[in-house]
Amino acid sequence: MPRIYLDHNATFPPFPEAVRAMQGWLEGFGNPSSVHWHGRRARAALEEARARVAALCGGRPAEIVLTSGATEANALALRGALDAAGGGDLVISAIEHPSVAATAEWLEGRGVGRTRVGVGREGRVDPAAVAAALGPRTVLVSVMLANHETGVVQPIREIAAAARRAGALVHTDAAQAAGRVPIDAEALGVDLLTLSAHKLGGPPGVGALWVRPGTPLAPLLHGGGQEAGRRAGTENLAGAVGFGAAARVAADLARDGAAVAALRDRLETGLCAAWPGAVVHGRGAARLPNTACLGFPGLDGEAAVMRLDLEGIAASLGSACASGSMRPSPVLLAMGAGEDLARASLRFSLGPRTTRAEIDRTVEVFERCVAPARAPAVMEGA
Ligand SMILES: Cc1ncc(COP(=O)(O)O)c(C=O)c1O
């Protein structure tokens, strides 16, 4: 059975360039901190990878802290900034990934003031609402660059400008935006920016935090002084090299999302025709070119994901982290979707190798295997 992978936001199939680059370092070895030949060779590979990751977000190599993924980078940004400031307040949005939302909650339990700014029906954070949430104790504002479920791109430049005027630092989680749209951390006006390798064609278990020079940030991990004292622990060399290779390919792909956006639109049109009353979450907002998140009133979302899987199509129910938990997506709830529609929503995330034939087959399978399950009341428009 041909397999159609439409879950690139969960994890992105590795680019051959990344796999090839890693292979040598799975067999080879060397501690980048060692002074001998093995160490120097490893250091050179690590620094080349760091430069490529920096180029992906418009930064300089020395501004990149390599981490075990976006989850750690987000934790470093939030906990590191609050710790360095000796406490204070934190402002996040209501649609952050759990790695930000749960870290903020954890910080709140330790005395940090936490404000969650809501979103409009299109899933967009209003910069004026962020500005209104800022206070004299606000240390950090954290709003993602693009949402993992809806693909809605947030007005980070405006949010960052408001936060900086109030003297607060700004963090953005760009794990989903990187490789989908061009990123320039400097131009966005943020102080901290998160990346994840496996969301853009690199291996899982590697990520990075871009840190604007001079940003006060306490480390999460203490020890050997790696990453300029910002993240101790012997570096994941093979992972970093794979990340660097993927970042190079991803930076090129991000410059032209038109083809994937056309396929995404074709998919949305086909699915909406198959299920009258279907809604495209965030349709009116600027979105990543690859992400389609649709609500199908009356659909059993879990059953639909399983039926598609039986036909070889990988889609998801909300985010990977939320699926399986049976809880409706907090992102869709924050957008006012309501519990029933949130549970009846599916996410399809495309990649550079997704073809028109795959999209047409997905629509055909949806029409044949999923749409007939529509409840009669819904079919009559009740
Ligand atoms: C927006 C966002 N941030 C952070 C993460 C966590 O990334 P990682 O798996 O690299 O820890 C994800 C993964 O789903 C994500 O979508």
pLDDT tens, position by position, 303-326: 999 999 999 999 999 644 445 556
Residue nearest (by alpha carbon) to ligand 1 atom 14: 10
pLDDT given for residue 135 in this prediction: 96
CA gyration radius, the chain? 21
**Vertex 300: Cα angle to 295 and 305 (nearest 5):** 85
Q: How far is ligand 1, taken at its centre, from the CA of residue 207, in Å? A: 9
Residues near ligand 1 with C-beta < 6 Å?
A: 69-71, 97, 99, 144, 148, 173, 175-176, 196, 207, 319-321
CB 183 within 8 A of CB 254: yes
Q: Choose the residue to mutate in 176, 181, 319 for probing ligand 1, maximizing ligand atoms within 8 Å of C-beta.
A: 176
Residues annotated as part of the active site: 321
Q: How far is ligand 1, taken at its centre, from the CA of residue 180, in Å? A: 14
Tell me the average pLDDT across 259-268: 98
Q: Ligand 1 atom closest to Cα of 197?
A: 10
Residue 112 CA: distances (Å) to CA of 78, 91, 100, 120, 235: 11, 10, 14, 26, 31
pLDDT given for residue 331 in this prediction: 97
Residue 292: CA atoms inside 13 Å, Cβ hemisphere, count? 25
Q: How far is ligand 1, taken at its centre, from the CA of residue 149, in Å? A: 11
For the chain, the maximum distance between any two Cα atoms, rounded to a whole number of angstroms, is 75
pLDDT given for residue 282 in this prediction: 98
Tell me what the pLDDT averaged over the chain comes to.
95
**pTM (two decimals):** 0.96
* 67 has pLDDT over 80: yes
pLDDT given for residue 382 in this prediction: 40
pLDDT given for residue 1 in this prediction: 86
Lowest-pLDDT range of 43-52, 174-183, 321-330: 321-330
* DSSP summary character for residue 153: B
